[in-house]
Amino acid sequence: MTRARRSLARRIVLTTLASGLFGAIVALVIAGRVVSDAFGAQLAPLLASRFDAEAARACRAAPARWSIELWPTWNVRGYAYDAGNGDAYNHDAPPLRRDLVARLGPEPGAKAIDLRARDRTGALVFRTGAPAPCDLVQLVWHNPGADRRVGRIWGASAVASALFASAVALIGIVAPLVRRIHRLRVAATRVGEPDGYAPLGRDGRPGDELDQLGQVLDRAHLRIRSDAALLEDQRAGLERHLSRIAHDLRTPLTSLQIGLEFAVDRIADPAARDAIASALRDAVYLSGLTYNLRLASRLRSGWNPADDVSDVELGAMVERIIARARLLARRRQIELALSVPDEPLRVRCSAVAVEQALTNIVDNAVAYGDPEGHVAVMLAAHGDGFELEVSDDGPGVAPANLPQLGHTTFRSDEARQRDPRGNGLGLAITAEVCGRIGWSLEFAALEPRGLRVRIRGR
């Protein structure tokens, strides 16, 4: 049972019990009045039939000892009284109920009764029509056993009626209401989702407040889905446009990089040579950024590198990457060392995505390492797969920041201080490619300084 159902059920049960008990009290009052009339209607004829001439003679002969028993079950007993002063002839008789005498009429057979239904006691005053001293008889009764039985019956009836009303309320009111609230809760959690949302409207009918809330959710869902579709179309168009621009920039950037490399070695002026070397570094950075943007656009547009695999000789791919990186390493006077296995190391992967992912790691080590530093790239067989390590002795990354490497837009403070360009896109691309094709990517700080990146796969 849900929390809402329990709360509603508790309130309905308490309310029904209270109303049931109140109804039982009202019923007791009404029943007492009805029973009083009925009881008096039975006692008066019974007394008249039992108070015959013989009983009248016995009463006149010894009024101080005379009494009459009419209904043993209820202990109904009658005594004679003086109609003038109301005194009882029998010393065992209770006092005469003068309030009942005042209600008596003068004619024989007149009666006045007071029945207390709660404790089942009462009295009846009756004019017998016989001569004094037996012309006035008072009947009194009391039945404690009947009190308990009747009380239990009335109490059990009231509780049973209240529980039955609660059960009817739970089945007929609470359960449908809770089902409707549950539908609203489920729909609210799925508003805007492509699948799983069930409309709650009632074909344009206003309905109650819950139906109106369902219609509000329906409209919100349609509006969110419409906005999401529009944003998705805009995003897809932007990514296609970005991919085309990145593709168009590849050739001129490559030509610019080759031209700057050709020029930097042939200029004698140190200032001009430094300016061209700086432009060359920018060209290398723009070339890498262009490749990463194009790959990011393909990934965002739904392309999965795990679905575009071919047989790749990983050693040859790493050698190509190192050959391109040596240009920047030489300009920064960084020693770039490479170790690959003698035997071909073949893997099944997306050649385009993997080559860019590995390029990002090597370029980062060279770009952010210390001038005249060292970068080591080691490729080796590992079990039925491979292990690639790229290590440098640069400033590295603080241990607290290692878990954030590979997250989009994250760059360490050390990297930002050395080069303000970049936004962490390269390592984010590498992390996503490795994750999609099932390769592991690990970052570790080296002592006394430096960073090691390790990729394992097969």
Question: In what side-by-side order are the strands of the sheet with 68-71?
Answer: 68-71, 76-81, 136-142, 121-127, 111-116
For residue 107, the model assigns a pLDDT of 84
For residue 410, the model assigns a pLDDT of 46
For residue 286, the model assigns a pLDDT of 79
For residue 142, the model assigns a pLDDT of 73
- In this structure, which topology does domain 304-457 adopt according to CATH? Heat Shock Protein 90 (3.30.565)
- Please, are residues 114 and 140 in contact by the beta-carbon 8 Å criterion? no
Alpha-carbon Rg for the chain, nearest whole angstrom, is 52
Distance CA 390, CA 370 (A): 15
**Largest interatomic CA distance in the chain:** 162
For residue 382, the model assigns a pLDDT of 92
Distance CA 359, CA 337 (A): 15
- End-to-end CA separation in angstroms for the chain: 51
Burial of 118 (0-12, 13-18, 19+ CB in 10 A): exposed
Domain regions of the chain by residue span: 3-159, 304-457
Report the chain (458 residues): mean pLDDT per 10 consecutive residues. 58 65 62 57 72 83 86 79 85 88 84 68 84 85 57 65 66 73 84 84 66 85 89 77 70 75 78 80 78 80 85 94 87 91 92 91 89 94 94 87 72 48 76 92 90 93
Distance CA 159, CA 154 (A): 9
Whether cis (ω within 30° of 0) applies to the bond prior to 403 is no
